Amino acid sequence: MLVVKNLCKNFRLYKKPSDRIIEVCFRKRKHEIFVALSKLSFSLKQGESLGVIGPNGAGKSTLMKLLTGLLIPDKGSVLIDGHITGLIELGTGFNQELSGRENIRNNALLLGMSSKEVESVLSEIISFAEIGPYINEPLKIYSSGMVMRLAFAIAIHSKPKCFIIDEALSVGDAYFQQKCTRKIMDFREKGGSLILVSHDMNAIKLLCDKVLVLNKGKCFVIDDPEPAVNCYNKILAGMQKSIALDVPTSESGYGTLRAEILHYSLNDIQLNSYELTSGAFVSFKLNILARCSIDDLVVGFLIRDRFGQDVFGTNTFLDNVQIPVTEGDKFDVNWEFNLNLGLGKYTITAAIHRGPDHTQECLHWSDAICGFEVTELDGKQFIGLCRLDPSLTIKKV
């Protein structure tokens, strides 16, 4: 479906516009080379889905523009078997003076559809976009969310073999995002390929078979979603060795280890895995050693399901609890709660960091420090991941 070999893309950076003229007229170099992508290779089979993640400036958008033909590579090749549609930049290919209906026709033609094909799906596109009477109004009065609705509706109905989405879904409201997600899953079930660029790790885990992690234009890893996301978290925390930082790691995780998780326990017992009952009272404890004085220490945990989706997480910052520590301090952090989760397998990730999140300074991050399985329900049956225990009243009116 798609084969990328040794893809390279550089850009010239000038300090000021006049440097371009000086360079042309006097043949004096006035630019610096910015390497956006370097020797990138990967492949995508028909029906597969690939997530692309990385920090800002990693080269994600450049890669998407190369795949869709908006940019030409300096070196390497992109081999495509079939029709690729990309939702790269909001409003690309739209005319602000034309109505939504007119833009549907024009944009669909740009995507390779025939006039007959456009007319056959026109009503479906309008219905999916849910813009109402604004479909006959000029695009210049549309909000960014309305433009995104229209762009997605056109792209997904153009029947591509491969659909590329670059953060475009982050613009819409929650209802339409869910609607788009269902449409994408339906597209995948019918054999379509997907390339998704997103900072939403739950969307990446839900929709992608494998994940490409980019940083500074280079591929760190192509792996299953869970280990790839863990690699991405290490990059955000500044822990990856190829970023040229000398940062210690431990067998149970990574971080600067200026504070460290020594032990954990679930209901005062330390095991690798546990069997629990839904609704049961649970105590999760972390024993921590501070190796230096820290004013803004934050301790937290995150529960994930068997697909790696975040189910619940909390930390002392979110609870407005301050933990100032001095060198050598040992202390326990204990959470108590009712485990109102559905049947299935889960993992617990524990972390210590400074500031609101681990991107400021990750002290110790331990992925899947332990696992547990909810094997039976205590009380009323329910559907889904969690039990909310709603009260029920029925009254004739």
Residue 297: the pLDDT is: 94
Of the pLDDT bands very low, low, confident and very high (cuts 50, 70, 90), residue 375 is: confident
Pair (82, 196) in one structural domain = yes
Q: How many residues does the chain have?
A: 397
pLDDT digits (tens, 9 = 90+) for 79-89: 998 888 888 77
Look at residue 36 and tell me if it is in a domain.
no
Pair (179, 138) in one structural domain = yes
CA dist 345 and 309 (Å) reads 12
CA dist 214 and 118 (Å) reads 36
Pair (222, 274) in one structural domain = no
Pair (214, 344) in one structural domain = no
Look at residue 8 and tell me if it is in a domain.
no
Residue 247: the pLDDT is: 40
**DSSP string computed for 353-375:** EESSSTTTEEEEEEEEEEEEEEE
Pair (69, 137) in one structural domain = yes
pLDDT digits (tens, 9 = 90+) for 203-223: 898 899 999 999 999 998 899
Q: Decide if 5 contacts 76 (C-beta within 8 A).
A: yes
Q: Which residue has the higher pLDDT, 92 or 169?
A: 92
pLDDT digits (tens, 9 = 90+) for 114-147: 999 999 999 999 999 999 999 999 999 999 889 9
Residue 392: the pLDDT is: 86
Of the pLDDT bands very low, low, confident and very high (cuts 50, 70, 90), residue 306 is: confident
Residue 172: the pLDDT is: 62
Pair (213, 294) in one structural domain = no
Pair (266, 229) in one structural domain = no
What H or E segment, with its residue span, contains residue 350?
Answer: strand 344-354
Pair (220, 269) in one structural domain = no
CA dist 95 and 85 (Å) reads 19
pLDDT digits (tens, 9 = 90+) for 195-205: 999 988 888 98
Residue 315: the pLDDT is: 95
Residue 236: the pLDDT is: 77
> Which residue, 219, 29, 28, is CA-closest to 12?
29
Q: Kindly report the CA angle at 300 between 299 and 302, in degrees rounded to 5?
A: 160
Q: Taking 80 as the threshold, does the pLDDT of residue 359 lie above it?
A: no
CA dist 119 and 109 (Å) reads 11
User: Taking the CB of residue 276, how many other CB atoms lie within 10 A of it?
Assistant: 18
> Which residue, 283, 356, 349, is CA-closest to 318?
356
Residue 238: the pLDDT is: 66
Q: State whether residue 188 is helix, strand or coil.
A: helix
Look at residue 397 and tell me if it is in a domain.
no
Pair (220, 260) in one structural domain = no
Residue 90: the pLDDT is: 67
Q: Decide if 299 contacts 286 (C-beta within 8 A).
A: yes
> Which residue, 323, 325, 329, 303, is CA-closest to 314?
303
DSSP structural state of residue 341? B
Q: Provide the number of structural domains found in the chain.
A: 2
Arithmetic mean of pLDDT, 24-53: 92
Arithmetic mean of pLDDT, 232-246: 57
Q: Kindly report the CA angle at 90 between 89 and 93, in degrees rounded to 5?
A: 85
Residue 380: the pLDDT is: 77
Pair (177, 208) in one structural domain = yes
Look at residue 74 and tell me if it is in a domain.
yes
Instruction: Strands of 54-175 (E only): list them.
Output: 75-80, 84-87, 162-166
Residue 125: the pLDDT is: 95
What is the pTM assigned to this prediction? 0.73
Of the pLDDT bands very low, low, confident and very high (cuts 50, 70, 90), residue 394 is: very high
Q: Taking 50 as the threshold, does the pLDDT of residue 110 lie above it?
A: yes
Residue 93: the pLDDT is: 82
Residue 245: the pLDDT is: 36
Domain extent, residue 354, equals: 254-377
Lowest mean pLDDT among 4-8, 37-41, 157-161, 259-263: 157-161
Q: Kindly report the CA angle at 75 between 74 and 81, in degrees rounded to 5?
A: 105
Burial 285-321 (b: 16+ CB within 10 A, else e): bbbbbbeeebebbbbbbbbbbeebeeeeeebbbeeee
Look at residue 335 and tell me if it is in a domain.
yes
Look at residue 243 and tell me if it is in a domain.
no
Q: For CA atoms 310, 274, 264, 336, give the dihedral sign.
A: positive
Q: Taking 80 as the threshold, does the pLDDT of residue 168 lie above it?
A: no
Residue 240: the pLDDT is: 39
For residue 273, what is the domain's CATH number? 2.70.50.60
Residue 171: the pLDDT is: 58
Q: Please give the structure tokens belonging to residue 121.
A: 């799906």
Pair (70, 160) in one structural domain = yes
Look at residue 54 and tell me if it is in a domain.
yes
Arithmetic mean of pLDDT, 16-31: 87
Determine what percent of the chain is predicted with pLDDT higher than 90. 55
For residue 191, what is the domain's CATH number? 3.40.50.300
Pair (72, 159) in one structural domain = yes
Look at residue 383 and tell me if it is in a domain.
no
- Over the chain, what is the mean pLDDT? 88
